[in-house]
Every structure is written in structure tokens, then in C-alpha cells.
Structure 1
Amino acid sequence: MPTIDLSRYEKKKPPRSPQKNDRGGLMAFLNKDISFGSQELSDKKKEFLYMELSSLLQAGINLKSSFELITASQEKEKDKQSFQDIQERVLQGTAFSQALEKSGKFSIYEIFSLEIGEETGKLTEVLQDLARFYQNKVKQRRKIISSLSYPCIVLCTSMGAIFFMLEFVVPMFSDIFTRFGGQLPWITSQIIRISKTMESNFFPAMLFFASITGFLWYSRKTERFRKNFSRLLLKIPLAGNLVQKIYLARFCNSMRLLISAHIPLLRAISLSRQMIGYYPIESSLQMVEDDILQGHSLHQSLAQFSIYPAKMIMLLKIGEESNKLDYFFARISEQYIDEVEYKTATLSSMMEPFIVIFLGLIVGTILIAMYLPMFEMSNSFH
């Protein structure tokens, strides 16, 4: 079997952090696919490509004809052109994995896995594994979004209603109270004061928040920002644990896929580090690579970092001792995915009544504050 040139895939290692137990930063909450300006195909398109290609190859259709069928099925001209470029490279004799690499739309993780599949004659199996990997990733993201979308919509609607009342309704009542004169109740005067403050500072506040948003947007890829932001996020109750489980599931799933494709452990760790995009795991894996090169086991190296739970470390220890790391990575990934789905559904069901209660209290307080002077004026007339 011809050898695979690993030097083509080597990337410059980031500087080693002096603190091993540091929890690092976060570039995105759900998925890198939603980041603007990404050159790679979306997870959904990758899932479709690998699923269709593996099915066609398994049916006995050669790679050339399979890719022609997939290219012809593309509706968007941009996607069709991208696939045609890959197809032309394959027709010119370029290996399928190298054709994907030259397109710049696929991760090093996928390219290396596919090259292993080509070299070992198991391309169909690798394609099926990649299809399942992205299918699970898309499914997980959809469940999270569907669980949190309703509470978020209700919250935004609530904030919009409160803003409308403070910006338009309260000033109308304020004018009426000014014409009548007299001493206003404490709660009414406070609501009117908040409304006037918001009205006079609306545009400066919008400019301030826009500036902060712009600063965060341009700083989001710096190591310092990712490190500090993720450290802050991980300390938030419920949300921090949820984010941790999401990325641990992705890490375990990627390790399962790479190890089952017979990729050496060190190379699998390196590839996972390059494609995770989550600072606490990404920074820790660099040090894990160094520790393994010095003779430490995987579970011992991971145990140094608090981002990896003790239960996960114990399962990986059993996996190393029984030479079934891919099986245990798969089990851990499934467990974390189930936990994320359960906690997301629980968080969604908990948020809904709290948001309704919050809206009711705020709107009720504003209404009482506005009508209370009217009741007092009505009593004074009697």
C-alpha cells in the first residue's frame, strides 16, 4: 500500500499556554457554519454530498458517474460550479481527496479521512461515516434551535412591547399628568423618569451598543477574546454546562470517526484540534499531543484539564486498556448528545413560564403606574 504524505497536512502549532487548567474561550455557541464569510460548504450540503456519494458507490456506480449525478442535482449555480471544478480535477487524474482539498471548501479532517479511505479501499465506509457525522451535527443543532427559538421569540416580543410602552404610551400619559398638575405617586414618577431617560438617550445608547458589537465582532477570533469569553460563558449556570457538553460530543464523535478509520491516535488528536474551533478543547489538545509524545496515556493527559469530566476520563481509560477507543468515544458522544437534547428541552420549558411572568409583571407595573394617578384624581373629585 502506498504511503500517505502527512507533511502536506501539518500546520504550525499554536504557542503552548503556561496554565494547563485554564478553560479558554469560545468563538461560537452552536456552530461555525453560521459564521459569516465561511469558505467551506455548510454541514447540510456536506451531509448530502457524502450520503449521496456513498449510496451511489455502494450501488456499483463509479466515482465519475456518481459525481456527475450529484453535480447535476445541484440547484444553486454556485454549488454546481464548485462541484464541476472538483469533477474536472478527478477526470484529470487527481485523487478525490486531493480534488476536495484544492477546492478549499472542505476541512483537513475530511480530506485526511477520505485519503485514508482511498488508500485502504474503504472509501464508501468513510463516506458513510462522514455522512453520519454531519447528519448528527445538523440534527443536534436543529433540536437546540427548535427548543430555544420559541422562548427567544417570546422574550424579544416582550422586550419590544415594553420598549413600545415606555417610548410611546408613557409619554402620552405624562403629558396628561403635567396638564393636571399635582403630586404623582412614587411608582408613576419613576416610570416616567425611566421613559424620559430612555427617550433622551436612545440614539447614544444605540451607538454605544453598535460600537460594542463591532468591537466584539472584530475581536472574536483573537486568542485573548476567545479565552476570556469562554471562561465567562462556562461559569453561567445551565448555559455553560450545555456548551461544554455540545463540544465534548463533537470532539468524541470526530475522534470516533478518525480512530475507526485507522488513523493514528496522535494524528486523530491533531485533526480534531484543527476542526473543533472551541478554545478550551483546542488549546488542551495541543498539550495532550505533547504529553503523549513523552509517553503519557490519553486519559492521563486529558485528566489535567477540568473541561473533561471525570466519568469521560474513566471510560477512555477502559477504552485504552481494551483497545476499543473508537467504541467508547462513540458511547460518550451519544451520551452527551442525549444530555444536550434533554437539558435544552428542560431549559426551554423552564424559560417559557418565567418569560410570561416577567412580561406580565413589567407590563402590569407600567399600567398600574399610569392608571393610579387617574384613580386618585377620580377620588378627589368625589
Structure 2
Amino acid sequence: METFFYTAIDQYGKKHQGSLESDSEKLVRQKLREKSLIPVTVKALESKSEKSQRFESHHKLSNKELSLLTRQLAILLKSGIPLAEVLRLLSQQTSNRKINTVALKLRSRLLEGQSLSQAINTLGKAFPPLYKATVTAGESSGKLSEVLNNLANYYEEKADIHQKIKLSLLYPVILTVVSIAVVISLLLFVIPEIVLVFEDLGQQLPEITRLLIALSDFLQANGLMIAMVILAAVLIAKLVLKIETVKLVYDAFVLQVPLIGNIIRVLNTSRFIRTLAILSSSKVETMNALLIASQVLSNLSMRQAVESASKQVREGSSLSNALAREQCFPDITTHLISSGESSGNLSEMLESTATYHEREVQAMTTTLVGIFEPLLILVMGGIVLVIVIAILLPIFEMNQLVA
């Protein structure tokens, strides 16, 4: 039995969309007609392995979608409804097409006799490694509903943090783009017009004005070439950084850069500890938890350090000592983890450490934006002031000559 998506219209011309399980497209159309619906399109949700592969590569769920799906799963499961029925209800209630598709695919796997973790693993990249490992641990411990609730909290917090950072950076980005556009417009369009006026008068121009005119002429003659060179440099840099050895050297160097290195270290630490916390609370083995959590690290140097720490844990080292030896995380992080190990409350201490670093990230973002905004205004204001002076100075000199 397959799941089919359908689009149909009723006798009043109202459009209806949904899904039905049946053995063939013909039977689906028949069922729709029995409901006084006229089928417009009927399409099988799953048929060939190629479709499954395309799903895996193009249907990765976002943090918001993962939190929504997981929260609904946790609530419905807690109420005692069978998992297959939960997924059916979820697919009917959601208006998100990707969540609907995932829910129906999972239900189809469950009806074939697979567990939820097995079903999730068949969907490839739709779910991240953290999700798969945590659900597997939840099934093993018999606390699937609780684990799903923790996962929902995790992805809700993650989506919320990303949203806050984006909103914090929105104004500075807009301000930067507008300021650069204004300066370029002045140089390309305003300055040339003013130059024509002064040339007609045959007036000797001040040094600052001549420099500005030279810059304007240079941009007019080479502006397109400069833009193409910058674009090519960015594309080449992206391609080169895909080479693992190059990226490793680059990431290690970036961590040593004052201020920028600290920001990157704190951001990665926040993600890593939060991921490790949820894996630990779900009773995932420490070595596996480290390897899974390392995948959220965008800095390759830090990721390799965690993988090295995982090997040390396998050889009998404590988590805090292994991470401390690698010297890639702030000292306070390893001290807090060590305290958690000593007290026997590692999961709780990881949660507290993750919360601490998340607040640190938010405070750092707020501080940087607070410094950047007035600094940008001063710099761009200074540039505009120089342009205005370069334009007005010849006018003042001309007025003095006339006087």
C-alpha cells in the first residue's frame, strides 16, 4: 500500500489537498469520487529509490521545522496514541509540505515493521545525526516521549538564537550596504557632473578635489573590472577552502586572530556543549556523543580536537581532561565539565554550561553591534564629509575670487 498526494475540487469549485493510502492511483481517484470530489492530480508519495535520494538531498528540515515536528510528536505520544496514528494525525494537521512528507514517509516505514529510529535513518539527510542518535537512545531507554520533548526544546532554542542573531545583524548590514551605495553613487554620478562645471569655468581645483576626481575617474574606468575581480576572489577562496588541509590551516589561524578568534571559539563552544548536553541527558555513550556533537562545529580545527578527545576518552581519560588537553575550548568550559563529573551530575552541568555560553554569545553579539553601528556611522560620515568638502571648496574659492 502506497501513500498518494491528491488535489481535487468539490461541486462548488473549492480546492482540496491531502493524502490517501491505497494500492493504486486508480483506487485513489475512485475514493475521491465517492466523497463527491473531482480529482485533478494524484501523485504517489514514494515509488522509486531515485525519488528517495532526491528527498534526502533536497528536503533537509530546518531547525524551526524540526522543533515543530518533534514538539507535536512528543505531545501526541505522551497522550498514549500509537506512533503510526500520531504520524497520520501530524501529516493531516500540518500545513508545512516538508513536515507532511516526512511524517507520511515515517508512517510508511513504521507500517512496514521498522522502529522510529530505523525509519528516521532511511530518510538520509532529512534528520541530523544528533536527532538520529537521540531517538535511538530514547527507544532503548523506553523514554521516547521525554527524549523527543528535550529535542523539541533544543531545536526551539537553536532556532530562537539564530533568529536573534539575524535580527541583531540586520540593521548594521542594511546600514553598511546603503552607506557604500551612497558613496559609490556620489563618486560615479555626482562628482563627474560637478567636474564639468569647474572645467567650463577653467578654475584651478584644490588638491583634495583633484584626488576625488581621480578616484571617480578610476572607478568609472575600472569599476566593473574591480567588481569582477572581487567576485572571482570570493569564489576562488570558497573553492580553495573546500580542500580539507587548507581549511584546517585557515581555521587554526582564525582562532588565533584577536577578537574574531574569540567570537568563533565561543560560538562553536556554545553549539557543541548544547548538543553534548542533550546527548548526555539521553544517555548516549560519551564517545559517540563527542563524535556526533563534533559535527556541529564549523571550525575544522576544533572539530579535529574533539575527535582526538574522543579517542582519549576511549582510552580511559575523563571528558574534562581530554578536552582540556586539546586546549580548544575556554578554560571555564572544562572546569565546569570537571565539576559535573566530580558531582555525578554531568548532564545538568552540561546544560548549565550550554546556557552560560549561549548568554555569552547573545551578550557578545549585542556588544559588537553596539560598537559597530556608531563606528560605521563615524567612518561613512567622515567619507561623505570629505566628498562634500572636496565639492564645496572650489565653490568657496570661486566666491572669494569674485569678491
1:347 maps to 2:368 = yes
Tell me the C-alpha RMSD between the 2 structures: 1.8
Give the equivalent residue in structure 2 for 1:98: 118
Higher RCO (CA 8 Å, separation ≥ 6 residues): 1
* 1:167-182 alignment runs, 5 A limit: 167-182=188-203
State the aligned residue count: 346
* 1:273-352 alignment runs, 5 A limit: 273-352=294-373
Amino acid at match of 1:184: L
Give the equivalent residue in structure 1 for 2:94: 74
1:256 maps to 2:265 = no
* 1:155-174 alignment runs, 5 A limit: 155-174=176-195
Give the equivalent residue in structure 1 for 2:23: none
Q: After superposition, give the CA deviation of every residue in 1:314-361 in whole Å (9 maximum; x if it has no partner).
A: 121222222221111111111111111111112112222122222221
Residues of 1 paired with 2:114 and 2:94: CA distance? 22
**Which has more strand, going by share of residues?**
2
Gaps of 5+ in 2: 1-56
Residues of 1 paired with 2:299 and 2:201: CA distance? 60
Q: Given the alignment, which residue of 352, 376, 382 partners 2:397? A: 376
> Structure 2 vs 1, CA of residues 47 and 293 (structure 1 numbering), >3 Å: closer, same or farther?
same
> Structure 2 vs 1, CA of residues 38 and 185 (structure 1 numbering), >3 Å: closer, same or farther?
farther
Give the equivalent residue in structure 2 for 1:65: 85
Shift, 1:236, TM fit? 4.6
* 1:1-382 alignment runs, 5 A limit: 39-104=59-124, 105-382=126-403
Residues of 2 paired with 1:237 and 1:344: CA distance? 16
Moved more, 265-274 or 330-339: 265-274
Residues of 1 paired with 2:91 and 2:204: CA distance? 75
Moved more, 219-228 or 344-353: 219-228
Instruction: Please give the TM-score of this superposition, normalised by the length of structure 2.
Output: 0.81
Q: Would the aligned equivalents of 2:73 and 2:86 in 1 still touch at CA under 8 Å? A: yes
Residues of 1 paired with 2:330 and 2:98: CA distance? 43
Q: Would the aligned equivalents of 1:101 and 1:108 in 2 still touch at CA under 8 Å? A: no
Q: Would the aligned equivalents of 2:276 and 2:350 in 1 still touch at CA under 8 Å? A: yes
Q: Percent identity?
A: 28
> Structure 2 vs 1, CA of residues 277 and 171 (structure 1 numbering), >3 Å: closer, same or farther?
same
Residues of 1 paired with 2:258 and 2:373: CA distance? 17
> Structure 2 vs 1, CA of residues 355 and 40 (structure 1 numbering), >3 Å: closer, same or farther?
same
Shift, 1:121, TM fit? 1.0
> Structure 2 vs 1, CA of residues 234 and 174 (structure 1 numbering), >3 Å: closer, same or farther?
farther
Q: Would the aligned equivalents of 2:65 and 2:99 in 1 still touch at CA under 8 Å? A: no
Shift, 1:81, TM fit? 2.6
Q: SS in structure 2 opposite 1:262?
A: coil
Amino acid at match of 1:272: A
> Structure 2 vs 1, CA of residues 238 and 315 (structure 1 numbering), >3 Å: closer, same or farther?
same
Give the equivalent residue in structure 1 for 2:50: none
Shift, 1:76, TM fit? 4.4
Residues of 1 paired with 2:238 and 2:91: CA distance? 35
Q: SS in structure 2 opposite 1:304?
A: helix
Amino acid at match of 1:56: L
Q: After superposition, give the CA deviation of every residue in 1:163-206 in whole Å (9 maximum; x if it has no partner).
A: 11011111111222222223211111111111111111111111
> Structure 2 vs 1, CA of residues 276 and 70 (structure 1 numbering), >3 Å: closer, same or farther?
farther
